[in-house]
């Protein structure tokens, strides 16, 4: 299986990340000079839309997708996926815009697609590699992944990581699936849908750091959805 990454799109789902994007976008463009960066922003009040439009005027490889309002992480990623396929992307990468995911790992994730449909940038594969987290948050994350694995049987150590690379076929399969999640349980749901369709999933060890700027988007509602969604997936519609 060859990776066939003649055209790669990086998809970022953002809300109030202007301070991080000013540094992240140049870094991404340096790592993948021929790649495209699709930024799906839900009309952030911090000036992100204006920043993106300004950057896009001087760099055609930055592709803003500005939506009318806050519609959720999951739908933002799906919108980025759709735009990437319209641009004929053969490989797609997702990561957080807050530098918790080191952009330097992107080439390793893309290389892993030579033998897989989805490559996960994993915090917990072959050991724990998380920096600057309180122990309670680390334990919660480790428990969440064990919880997901026990209920859904996905054979990965880090099913909740948003740092991933996808082959085009995997994204096409995801977009033709029923996706109900809106928050970060979306990451589990699309992985489960792909796994159920026989997609090959591999993990690539990464080092995860706490965000540099801004505030976490985690909320009680997001946590509740993450708890209930695996059960709904297991006993609900499988396609």
Q: Model confidence at 210, in pLDDT bands (50, 70, 90)?
A: confident
CA contacts within 13 A on the Cβ side of 123? 21
Q: Kindly state the average pLDDT of the residues 36-41.
A: 98
pLDDT, one tens digit per residue, over 107-123 is 999 999 999 999 999 99
Name the one residue in this structure whose structure tokens are 């749901």.
Answer: 189
Q: Model confidence at 190, in pLDDT bands (50, 70, 90)?
A: very high
Is the pLDDT at 127 greater than 50? The verdict is yes
C-beta separation of 158 from 120 below 8 A = yes
CA distance 154 to 97: 26
Is 186 contained in some domain?
Answer: yes
* Residue 213, CA distances (Å) to 17, 19, 21, 208 in order: 8, 7, 10, 15
Residues 224, 205, 164, 12, Cα dihedral to 10°:
80
CA distance 19 to 230: 34
Is the pLDDT at 146 greater than 60? The verdict is yes
CATH of the domain at 228: 3.90.550.10
CA contacts within 13 A on the Cβ side of 96? 22
CA–chain centroid gap for 53, Å, is: 22
pLDDT, one tens digit per residue, over 77-109 is 999 999 999 999 999 999 999 999 999 999 999
pLDDT score of 239: 45
Give counts: helices (H), strands (E), the chain: 8, 9
Instruction: Tell which phi-psi region holds residue 158, choosing left (phi > 0), alpha (psi between -120 and 50) or beta.
Output: beta
Q: Model confidence at 223, in pLDDT bands (50, 70, 90)?
A: low
Is 135 contained in some domain?
Answer: yes
Tokens standing for 9? Answer: 């799109």
Is 88 contained in some domain?
Answer: yes
Q: What does the DSSP assignment read for 88-129?
A: T-SEEEE--TTSSB-GGGHHHHHHHGGG-SEEEEESSTTS--
**Entry pTM:** 0.90
Three-class secondary structure of residue 12 per DSSP? strand
Is 145 contained in some domain?
Answer: yes
* Structural domain of 209: 8-235
- Main-chain phi, psi angles of 10, to 5 degrees: -95, 130
Is 195 contained in some domain?
Answer: yes
Is 1 contained in some domain?
Answer: no
Tokens standing for 209? Answer: 């750091």
pLDDT score of 228: 80
Task: Kindly state the helix (H) or strand (E) to which residue 152 belongs, with its residue range.
Answer: helix 135-152
Is 141 contained in some domain?
Answer: yes
Higher pLDDT, 204 or 1: 204
- Of 199, 178, 198, nearest to 189 (Cα)? 178
Is 3 contained in some domain?
Answer: no
C-beta separation of 113 from 3 below 8 A = yes
Give me the count of residues in the chain. 239
Domain count, the chain: 1
């Amino acid at each position: 299986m060859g990776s066939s990454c003649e055209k790669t799109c990086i998809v970022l789902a953002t809300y109030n990340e202007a301070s991080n994007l000013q540094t992240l976008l140049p870094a991404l463009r340096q790592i993948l000079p021929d790649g495209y960066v699709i930024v799906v922003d839900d009309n952030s009040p911090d000036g992100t839309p204006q920043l993106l439009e300004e950057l896009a005027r001087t760099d055609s490889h930055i592709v803003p997708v500005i939506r009318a309002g806050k519609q959720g992480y999951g739908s933002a990623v799906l919108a980025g996926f759709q735009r990437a396929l319209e641009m004929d992307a053969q490989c797609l990468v997702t990561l957080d815009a807050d530098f918790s995911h080191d952009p330097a790992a992107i080439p390793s994730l893309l290389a892993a697609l030579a033998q897989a449909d989805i490559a996960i940038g994993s915090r917990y594969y072959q050991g724990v590699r998380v920096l600057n987290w309180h122990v309670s948050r680390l334990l919660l994350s480790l428990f969440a992944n064990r919880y997901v694995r026990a209920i859904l049987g996905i054979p990965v150590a880090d099913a909740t990581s948003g740092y991933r690379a996808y082959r085009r076929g995997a994204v096409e399969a995801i977009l033709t699936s029923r996706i109900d999640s809106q928050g970060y349980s979306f990451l589990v749901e699309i992985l489960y849908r792909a796994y159920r369709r026989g997609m090959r999933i591999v993990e690539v060890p990464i080092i995860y750091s706490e965000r540099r700027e801004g505030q976490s988007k985690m909320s009680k509602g997001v946590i509740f959805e993450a708890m209930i969604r695996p059960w709904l997936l297991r006993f609900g519609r499988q396609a």
